[in-house]
Amino acid sequence: MAEDHCFFNKDFVITKTPKKSPLVLRTVVLIFSMVCGVYICSICLKQISAFRKPKLIDIQAIHQPCYASGLEQWEIPYVHFPKPYTYSRNECACNPVRYFAILSMQRSGSGWFETLLNSHINISSNGEIFSVKERRSNMSTITETLDRVYNLDWFNSASKNECSAAVGFKWMLNQGLMEHHNEIVEYFNRRGVSAVFLFRRNLLRRMISVLANSYDRDAKSLNGTHKSHVHSPHEAEILARYKPKVNTALLIPDLKRVEDTTAKALEYFKSTRHIIVYYEDLVNNHTKLMDVQEFLRVPQRDLKSRQVKIHKAPLSEQLENWDEVLSALNGTRYESFLHLD
Ligand SMILES: *[C@@H]1O[C@H](CO)[C@@H](O)[C@H](O)[C@H]1NC(C)=O
Ligand SMILES: *[C@@H]1O[C@H](CO)[C@@H](O)[C@H](O)[C@H]1NC(C)=O
Ligand SMILES: *[C@@H]1O[C@H](CO)[C@@H](O)[C@H](O)[C@H]1NC(C)=O
Ligand SMILES: *[C@@H]1O[C@H](CO)[C@@H](O)[C@H](O)[C@H]1NC(C)=O
Ligand SMILES: *[C@@H]1O[C@H](CO)[C@@H](O)[C@H](O)[C@H]1NC(C)=O
C-alpha cells in the first residue's frame, strides 16, 4: 500500500512533472536569463565606460598638439604652438606662431619699424626688452626672458596675446647680443627663432640722429620731456631745430666702427634664418614691408605707423659744421653719405 502509494506518488510525480515543470522551468529559465542578461549588460556597460574614459583623455591628449596644414618642409622647425602659463589662447590655441627678433642699432628706424609691425593684427613686437640691464646680465636671465616672450607670457601694449601669429621684440646689438652671440645663435636655431636685421645705409644720418637724441635727453625740448620718437610734424620740427656739431677727428673711425659691428653681427648670426632690411629701403619702397610679412609668414596687410620722421632736411641744413664734415668725407668711401637720404 505504502509502495502503492509510493508508486502512486511516483506516478503522480512522474506524470505530473512533465505537465507542470515546463511552465515552472520556463519561468525559472526566463528569470535566470533575464538576470543574466541584465548582469551581462551591466558588465558590458561598465567595461565600455571603463574603456571610454581613457579614450576621452586620449582624445584630449591628441587634441593638445596642434597641426598646421599647408606647411613646406623647411618651415616646420619655425612653427610653434605656445601654451601661455598666464592665460588660454582660446579659439586661437591652434593658430601657429612664428618667433622673431629684430636685431638693430639705436637710431636705425627700429622704433618706427616696430610700430608698423604692431599695426598688424597678428604681430606682437614687444619693444626693447633688453634695455633693462638685469635681463641681460647673463645667459640664464637672457634665456628666461626669451622663453617668456616666446611663450606669449610677455605683456605690453603691443601684445596681441592669444591670436598672435608672430611674436618678437627688438634687440640692439649692444644689449648683450654680441657678447653672448654663440649661445643666442644656439637658442635661435634650437627654438626656431628668425632674425630680422634692420640697419641704416646712411650711417652719417644715423650719427646725426644719435647726437640729436642724446642732446635732447638733457635739453628735453618738447615741453620739458625727452622724446626719441614723435607723432606730429610740429614736434619733429622742434627736435630738428637742434643742429649737432660732429667731431670730424672721430668721424671716420666712428663710421668704420658701426660698419664693422654690423658686419660682425651678420657674420655671427649667418646660420640663423634671417632677412636683412634697410631703413632707407622701407621708407622708399613699401613693398619691402610685404617681404617682411612674407618672411614672418603672416597674412599680408597694409601696415601703418603714426610716427613722424624727425630729420627730413638735406644734411647740409642739419649740421652745424657741415663744411668740415664735407671736407672730412670728401674722397673717402663714405662720401656718398653726404648726398644720400
Ligand atoms: C645671472 O644674473 C642674475 C641676475 O643678475 C643672478 O641672480 C644669477 O645668479 C646669475 N646667474 C649666473 C649663472 O651667473
Ligand atoms: C589674426 O587675428 C585674428 C583676430 O584676433 C584671428 O581671428 C586670426 O585667426 C589671426 N590669424 C592668424 C593667422 O593667426
Ligand atoms: C606744450 O604745451 C602747450 C600747452 O600745454 C601746447 O599747446 C604745445 O603744443 C606743447 N608743445 C609741444 C611741443 O608739445
Ligand atoms: C621695391 O621692393 C620690391 C621687393 O623687395 C622690389 O621687387 C622692387 O623692385 C622695389 N621697387 C623699387 C622701385 O625699388
Ligand atoms: C673734394 O675733393 C676734390 C679733390 O679730391 C676737390 O676737387 C673738391 O673741391 C672737394 N670738394 C669739396 C666739397 O671739398
Q: What is the 3-state secondary structure (H, E, C) of 119-144?
A: CCCCEEECCCHHHCHHHHCCHHHHHH
**Confidence tier at 271 by pLDDT (50, 70, 90):** very high
What is the per-residue pLDDT for 159? 73
Model pLDDT for residues 165-189, shown as the tens digit of each residue: 999 999 999 999 999 999 999 999 9
CA of 234 to the centre of ligand 3 (A): 10
Contacts with 42 (C-beta within 8 Å, 6 or more apart), sequence order: none
Give yes or no for residue 37 having a pLDDT over 70: no
What is the per-residue pLDDT for 191? 97
For residues 140 and 71, the answer to whether their CB atoms sit within 8 Å is no
Domains of the chain: 75-338 (3.40.50.300)
Q: Is 322 in the pocket of ligand 5 (CB under 6 A)?
A: no
Question: For atom 12 of ligand 5, which residue has the closest CA?
Answer: 327
Give yes or no for residue 13 having a pLDDT over 50: no
Please indicate whether residue 337 or residue 89 has the higher confidence score (pLDDT).
Answer: 337
Q: Is 284 in the pocket of ligand 1 (CB under 6 A)?
A: no
- Nearest-CA neighbor of 151 among 136, 140, 138, 162? 162
What DSSP assignment string belongs to 192-218?
TEEEEEEE-S-HHHHHHHHHHHHHHHH
For residues 143 and 130, the answer to whether their CB atoms sit within 8 Å is no
CA of 224 to the centre of ligand 3 (A): 10
CA of 138 to the centre of ligand 1 (A): 6
Q: What are the φ and ψ backbone dihedral angles of 117, each rounded to 5 degrees?
A: -60, -45
Q: Which of 140, 143, 145, 179 to mutate to test the pocket of ligand 1 (most atoms within 8 A of CB)?
A: 140
SS3 assignment, position 337: helix
CA of 82 to the centre of ligand 2 (A): 15
pTM for the whole thing?
Answer: 0.79
Query: Which range in 17-31, 88-102, 150-164 is most confidently predicted, on average pLDDT?
Result: 88-102
Q: Which three cell numbers stand for residue 325?
A: 664734415
SS3 assignment, position 311: coil
Please indicate whether residue 49 or residue 137 has the higher confidence score (pLDDT).
Answer: 137
- Nearest-CA neighbor of 126 among 165, 86, 160, 84? 160
Question: For atom 11 of ligand 5, which residue has the closest CA?
Answer: 330
Q: Is 222 in the pocket of ligand 5 (CB under 6 A)?
A: no
CA of 241 to the centre of ligand 5 (A): 28
- Nearest-CA neighbor of 265 among 175, 178, 171? 178
First to last CA, the chain: 139
Question: For atom 11 of ligand 4, which residue has the closest CA?
Answer: 285
- Nearest-CA neighbor of 172 among 245, 105, 221? 105
DSSP structure class, residue 84: -
- Nearest-CA neighbor of 172 among 151, 200, 149, 192? 200
Give yes or no for residue 338 having a pLDDT over 50: yes
Q: Which three cell numbers stand for residue 262?
A: 654690423
- Show the CA angle centred on residue 97, arms to residues 91 and 100, nearest 5°: 150
What is the per-residue pLDDT for 119? 94
Give yes or no for residue 6 having a pLDDT over 80: no
Give yes or no for residue 77 having a pLDDT over 70: yes
Give yes or no for residue 331 having a pLDDT over 70: yes
For residues 176 and 129, the answer to whether their CB atoms sit within 8 Å is no
Give yes or no for residue 42 having a pLDDT over 80: no
Place of cell 584630449: 60
In the chain, pLDDT over 70 holds for what percent of residues? 82
SS3 assignment, position 313: coil
What is the per-residue pLDDT for 241? 85
**Confidence tier at 87 by pLDDT (50, 70, 90):** confident
- Nearest-CA neighbor of 142 among 108, 112, 111, 185? 185
Please indicate whether residue 141 or residue 210 has the higher confidence score (pLDDT).
Answer: 141
Task: State the chain's maximal CA–CA distance in angstroms.
Answer: 154
CA of 223 to the centre of ligand 3 (A): 6
The CA distance from 147 to 141, in Å, is: 10
Please state the atom number of ligand 3 nearest to the C-alpha of residue 238.
13
When pLDDT is averaged across residues 15-20 and rounded to a whole number, the result is: 48
E-strand stretches of the chain = 98-104, 123-125, 166-168, 170-172, 193-199, 274-278
Give yes or no for residue 121 having a pLDDT over 80: yes
- Reported as type and span, the H/E element at residue 168 is strand 166-168
Report CA torsion sign: 85, 86, 92, 98.
Answer: negative
Model pLDDT for residues 205-249, shown as the tens digit of each residue: 999 988 888 888 888 888 888 888 888 888 888 888 888 899 999
The CA distance from 97 to 99, in Å, is: 7
Q: Which of 248, 321, 330, 332 to mutate to test the pocket of ligand 5 (most atoms within 8 A of CB)?
A: 330
Place of cell 528569470: 31
Question: For atom 14 of ligand 4, which residue has the closest CA?
Answer: 285
Give yes or no for residue 335 having a pLDDT over 50: yes
Ligand at minimal distance from the CA of 123 is 2
When pLDDT is averaged across residues 106-114 and rounded to a whole number, the result is: 93
